Amino acid sequence: MRTEDHVDLFAEPVEADSAPTRVDGGRPRGLTAEGWVRTTGWLQVGDHPVSSVLLAAVAGLLWALVGAAALVTEFPVAAGVLTLTIPVISGVSWWLFTTRLRPASTARNVDTCRADELEPGDTIRLHGSIGPIGQVVEVALDDDARVVLHGGARRTWARDDVVHLAELLR
């Protein structure tokens, strides 16, 4: 059961030195040896991430339409085939890339907080509102917030810098 603050009341407590996990508790795709997770899902509509496969297919459709416009007078059948196949090839290629060649998990931003409010176990975006995700292991506060992430990486933010909290979906 999740509250409006995205807290699962029945979840097992997170160990501070454990690797990042998906919402369902599984191991995320794209977990690196350094402890951070490669992600997709940088575009969100409200609380729902837009599939990067869909974005790749739309980009393929736009390129196919440009190519079809150039070919339609000389090769109308080729223009039609191009318009139908390139989006599918683009989407499937991106899906294979993000699941097999360079695995990445789907993630969504759930909230923001100040760097001095981070706690061990928080899952955060490492580079603003997009990009890889890391799990906080330790937070030390002085003039800045010095954060140690799972895998040993260290980040430093000003105490009042905004950090994006995220969750791994797949």
Q: Which residues of 45-78 are buried (b: 16+ CB within 10 A; e: fewer)?
A: eeeebebbbebbbeebbeebeeebeebeeeeeee
Residue 16 has pLDDT above 70, yes or no: no
14 band by pLDDT with thresholds 50, 70 and 90: very low
**Per-residue confidence (pLDDT) for residue 44, from 0 to 100:** 79
Q: pLDDT for 75-90, tens place per residue?
A: 999 999 999 999 999 9
Q: Give the length of the chain.
A: 170
Tokens 């140690």 locate to 148
Residue 144 has pLDDT above 70, yes or no: yes
The CATH class of 1-39+106-169 is mainly beta
Give the start-to-end residue ranges of the domains of the chain: 1-39+106-169, 48-101
For residue 35, how many other CB atoms are within 10 A of its CB? 17
Cα atoms in the 13 Å half-sphere on the side-chain side of 84: 6
**Per-residue confidence (pLDDT) for residue 10, from 0 to 100:** 59
Q: pTM for the whole thing?
A: 0.73
